[in-house]
């Protein structure tokens, strides 16, 4: 009885301390010139760019009224790293958990923050966030295990930056004139959306830096000259502190580090500046940089909560990653030969309208790469990278355990021949796979919802490098009800809210008319054939120009 009363009052206290934060956002175009080289239109919030850094406390409720004032583009907001446990429809992925927010429409995102650490928010509308709609989001932990070990905390975002807008760049990237799929090369690297970040520090004091890579493409390397850092958090998971002099941060990854400033200031520049080096172009990717910079290997991080490895998997999703040309000559990205193509009906709404058929992956179409997961099953994602590039993979709705990661060029994962899995694996929500290598991720399907698994390099995502996890579909049907506002958002964009991936409401197994990936190359043609063709066309044009000159 006494215990009951105590518990009740404890909950009462919690309820009192948790705040509701109302955000009224008008998403519009504004002009900005973060690298000092070129002013350009960017996507801002309430007339401002960079968008606001959000700093909340665990258990706060966020109610964000997101008005699309862009006029000429749809939008959406994904709260990267939030489990959205019980609120899958607030995840922010158009075509997956919601409809696009059309110009003039308002979407209300309303959910509680029951996690802590360093996150970010960004548009999940095709190609959009590198045009500026992305920023850090922090959730303070009232039980912070490192409280008292630092004096001040700061956010530092890292990003690549383009001068042209994404629709233009995407048009050029996914084109037959770019048959090898060379990614557009960024024009600059930004630290906290500027190239002139200076931060005054006091000697002897310890700082906690929340580092977030909010970029589209480049991996960033972060170090502070003459100082060591202690990693204490990775993607929202507190870790045992480990010392390092340099950290490698792929697109969408986050770290918190403690840095103690020196006592002896006589020889010290009181300004601390982090140096950014970005892996300048696709043709020269990270592997050589890796050995050169020798950053801390995140595989070795230990979650502070000591959560042990989940039992052996009940279900394994094996995905082979390739990049290749389709019949239009452009270079696409594939899991098992499938390039993600947005369905007519957002997948969550297909679950809700398909009744007993919801556990049949056929309902969700071929091109969403669907995998139906049973409630509470243990799932392994085995990814084999048959591509020569490095890719950072993000799973929505979970922090997964990284139980195996091969070296570069190790080929496919061999379940009968691998080093022992760690007892306490590192957990995070975004992890990079090495060129030609593989990794194995493990999680428990204890979060009913539709969760996208995709490469966080925006170019590859837009080239189709995504798969859909349909987790506990019957629990979704029982427990989730979509707010009326979300259906209004669908209405404004003219999107159907029931039916299978093809929009068929009568027969959920009839996928006639489903959006398909671009057709294959005609028989007899190879990608090389097309490349040769393009090159010879180019040569002809060059020839003509030379003659003219
Ligand atoms: C959004 O901002 C634009 C540009 O400042 C303004 O014209 C529009 O009225 C605003 N809309 C809302 C709903 O706040
Ligand atoms: C950064 O500072 C340099 C030197 O003061 C200046 O030339 C440059 O324009 C500044 N860049 C930005 C983006 O403010
Ligand atoms: C939308 O309008 C903005 C601001 O005028 C412009 O910079 C941008 O290129 C337009 N986007 C598209 C897709 O036309
Ligand atoms: C947000 O969700 C809570 C809990 O479901 C509800 O009580 C509240 O009315 C919602 N607020 C808005 C603005 O929809
Ligand atoms: C976030 O807010 C908390 C107070 O809730 C404050 O202690 C902390 O310094 C803030 N963090 C940053 C990076 O501004
Ligand atoms: C980085 O920028 C954000 C706002 O955009 C600001 O809140 C934060 O304090 C800045 N960090 C540093 C280290 O100046
Ligand atoms: C700086 O000085 C303080 C107090 O004298 C001492 O406790 C601390 O260990 C020193 N820190 C370093 C990095 O030398
Ligand atoms: C530190 O930075 C400030 C502001 O940019 C500058 O005025 C000052 O000269 C710098 N100090 C040193 C020692 O570089
Ligand atoms: C097992 O893996 C190791 C290291 O990757 C490799 O050297 C060895 O040849 C493999 N053995 C078999 C039987 O495949
Ligand atoms: C979701 O919530 C349920 C119970 O409310 C819990 O058992 C489960 O672990 C949670 N899953 C995640 C991913 O947070
Ligand atoms: C949107 O709502 C209007 C009015 O309720 C309705 O007539 C129309 O059919 C709806 N459109 C879609 C695509 O659902
Ligand atoms: Cu990728």
Residue 111 falls inside a structural domain = no
* Same domain, yes or no: 210 and 347: no
pLDDT of residue 525: 58
β-strand pairing of 438-444 with 378-385 = antiparallel
Choice among 12-26, 48-62, 92-106, 119-133 with the minimum mean pLDDT: 12-26
In a domain, 463, yes or no: yes
In a domain, 8, yes or no: yes
pLDDT over 50 at 312, yes or no: yes
Shortest-distance Cα residue to atom 9 of ligand 8: 271
Q: What is the DSSP string of 359-389?
A: G-GGGG-STT-EEEE-TT-EEEEEEEE-SSS
Percent of the chain with pLDDT over 70: 86
pLDDT bracket for residue 469 (50, 70, 90): very high
In a domain, 252, yes or no: yes
Q: What is the pLDDT of residue 281?
A: 37
The answer to whether residues 282 and 325 belong to one domain is no
3 state DSSP class of 60: coil
Q: Which atom of ligand 8 is nearest to the CA of 198?
A: 5
Do 432 and 401 belong together in one domain?
A: yes
Identify whether residues 470 and 446 lie together within a single domain. yes
Gap from CA of 494 to ligand 11 centroid (Å): 8
DSSP category for residue 297: -
Tell whether ligand 7 has an atom less than 6 A from the beta carbon of residue 308: no
Residue 60 belongs to a domain: no
Residues 342, 484: one domain?
yes
Residue 386 has pLDDT above 90, yes or no: yes
pLDDT (mean) for 218-241: 91
In this structure, of 25-34, 44-53, 292-301, 310-319, the range with the lowest mean pLDDT score is: 292-301
What does the pLDDT read at residue 269? Answer: 52
140 & 266 share domain = yes
Least confident of 141-145, 223-227, 392-396, 417-421: 223-227
* pLDDT (mean) for 387-403: 97
Q: Residue 54: inside a domain, yes or no?
A: no
Residues 331-378: tens digit of each pLDDT: 999 999 999 999 999 999 999 999 999 999 999 999 999 999 999 999
pLDDT interval class at 16 (50, 70, 90)? very low
Indicate if 295 and 321 belong to the same structural domain. no
> Both 352 and 472 in a single domain?
yes
Which of these three, 300, 325, 358, is where a domain ends?
Answer: 300
Average pLDDT over residues 463-470: 98
Domain boundary among 473, 493, 513: 493
110 Cα to the center of ligand 4, angstroms: 6
CA angle, residues 248, 252, 256, in degrees to nearest 5: 60
Looking from the CA of residue 47, the nearest atom of ligand 1 is 5
Q: Which residues pair with 204 in a beta bridge?
A: none
Task: Among 21, 63, 486, name the best residue to mutate to test ligand 4's pocket (greatest count of ligand atoms within 8 A of Cβ).
Answer: 63
Distance from the CA of 277 to the center of ligand 9, in angstroms? 36
> Ligand 10 center to residue 447 CA distance, Å?
6
494 lines ligand 11 (CB under 6 A): yes
Ligand 2 within 6 A of CB of 543: no
Domain that holds residue 457: 315-493
HSE-CB for 496 with a 13 A CA cutoff: 15
Mean pLDDT of 156-177: 95
CATH number at residue 143: 2.60.40.420
Judge whether 309 lies within some domain: no
Tell me the pLDDT band of 531, cut-offs 50, 70 and 90. very low
Which carries the bigger pLDDT value, residue 495 or residue 200? 495
Q: Are residues 374 and 335 in the same domain?
A: yes
For residues 323 and 318, what is the distance between their CA atoms, to the nearest angstrom? 17
Asked whether 452 and 466 are in contact (CB, 8 A), the reply is yes
Q: Which of 445, 460, 493 is the last residue of a domain?
A: 493
Residue 11 scores a pLDDT above 60: no
Of the residues 42, 44, 69, which should be mutated to test ligand 1's pocket, given the most ligand atoms within 8 Å of the CB?
Answer: 69
195-204 burial: b if 16+ Cβ within 10 Å, else e: eebeeebeee
Q: Is the pLDDT of residue 10 over 50?
A: no
Residue 225 vs residue 250, higher pLDDT: 250
* 218 and 289 share one domain: yes
| 350 plus 290 within the same structural domain | no
First to last CA, the chain: 95
Q: What is the pLDDT of residues 62-80, one digit of tens each?
A: 999 999 999 999 999 999 9
pLDDT band at 246 (very low <50, low <70, confident <90, very high): confident
Q: What is the pLDDT of residue 275?
A: 46
Average pLDDT in the 246-254 region?
A: 94
Atom of ligand 1 minimally distant from the CA of 24: 14
pLDDT value at 168 more than 50:
yes
Q: Give the predicted TM-score (pTM) of the model.
A: 0.90
Residues 295 and 352 in one domain: no
**What's the domain count of the chain?**
2
Contacts of 238 (CB under 8 A, 6+ apart): 116, 117, 141, 145, 146, 232, 303, 304, 305
Residue 398 lies in a domain: yes
Q: Which of the ligands is closest to the CA of residue 419?
A: 9
Q: What's the confidence (pLDDT) of residue 197?
A: 80
Confidence of residue 282 (pLDDT cuts 50, 70, 90): very low
Mean predicted lDDT score pLDDT of the chain: 88
Lowest mean pLDDT among 7-11, 233-237, 399-403: 7-11
DSSP single-letter state for residue 194: B
What pLDDT sits at residue 15? 46
């Amino acid at each position: 009885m006494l215990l009951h009363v105590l518990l009740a009052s404890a909950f009462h206290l919690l309820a009192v301390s948790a705040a509701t934060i109302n955000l009224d956002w008008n998403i519009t175009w504004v002009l900005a010139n973060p690298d000092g080289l070129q002013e350009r239109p960017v996507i801002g919030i309430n007339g401002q760019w960079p968008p606001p850094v959000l700093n909340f406390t665990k258990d706060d409720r966020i109610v964000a009224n997101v008005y699309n004032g862009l006029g000429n583009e749809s939008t959406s907001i994904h709260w990267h790293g939030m489990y959205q446990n019980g609120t899958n429809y607030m995840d922010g992925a158009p075509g997956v958990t919601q409809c696009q927010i059309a110009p003039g429409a308002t979407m209300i995102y309303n959910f509680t923050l029951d996690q802590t650490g360093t996150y970010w928010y960004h548009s999940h509308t095709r190609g959009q966030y590198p045009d500026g709609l992305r920023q850090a989001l922090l959730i303070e932990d009232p039980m912070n295990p490192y409280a008292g070990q630092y004096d001040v905390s700061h956010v530092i975002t890292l990003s690549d930056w383009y001068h042209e807008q994404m629709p233009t760049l995407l048009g050029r990237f996914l084109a037959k004139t770019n048959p090898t799929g060379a990614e557009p090369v960024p024009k600059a690297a930004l630290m906290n959306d500027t190239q002139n970040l200076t931060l005054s520090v006091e000697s002897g004091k310890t700082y906690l830096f929340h580092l977030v890579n909010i970029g589209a493409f480049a991996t960033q390397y972060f170090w502070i000259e003459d100082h060591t850092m202690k990693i204490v958090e990775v993607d929202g998971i507190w870790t045992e502190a480990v010392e390092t002099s340099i950290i490698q941060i792929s697109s969408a990854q986050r770290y918190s580090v403690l840095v103690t400033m020196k006592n002896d200031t006589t020889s010290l520049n009181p300004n601390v500046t982090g140096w950014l080096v970005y892996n300048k172009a696709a043709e020269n990717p990270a592997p050589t940089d890796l050995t050169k910079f020798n950053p801390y290997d995140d595989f070795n991080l230990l979650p502070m909560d000591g959560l042990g490895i989940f039992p052996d998997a009940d279900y394994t999703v094996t995905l082979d990653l390739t990049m290749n040309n389709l019949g239009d000559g452009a270079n696409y990205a594939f899991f098992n030969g499938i390039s993600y193509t947005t369905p007519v009906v957002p997948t969550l709404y297909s679950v809700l309208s398909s009744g007993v058929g919801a556990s049949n992956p056929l309902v969700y179409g071929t091109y969403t790469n669907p995998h139906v997961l049973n409630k509470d099953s243990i799932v392994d994602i085995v990814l084999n990278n048959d591509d020569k590039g490095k890719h950072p993979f993000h799973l929505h709705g979970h922090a997964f355990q990284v139980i195996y990661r091969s070296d570069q060029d190790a080929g496919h994962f061999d379940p009968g021949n691998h080093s022992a899995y760690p007892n306490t694996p590192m957990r995070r929500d975004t992890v990079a796979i090495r060129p030609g290598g593989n990794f194995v991720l493990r999680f428990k399907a204890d979060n009913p919802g539709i969760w996208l698994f995709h490469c966080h390099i925006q170019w590859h995502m837009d080239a189709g490098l995504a798969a859909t996890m349909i987790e506990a579909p019957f629990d979704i049907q029982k427990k989730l009800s979509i707010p009326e506002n979300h259906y209004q958002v669908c209405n404004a964009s003219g999107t159907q809210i029931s039916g299978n991936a093809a929009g068929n409401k009568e027969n959920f197994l009839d996928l006639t008319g489903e959006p398909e990936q671009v057709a294959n190359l005609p028989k007899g043609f190879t990608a090389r054939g097309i490349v040769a063709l393009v090159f010879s066309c180019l040569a002809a044009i060059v020839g003509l120009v030379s003659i003219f000159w």
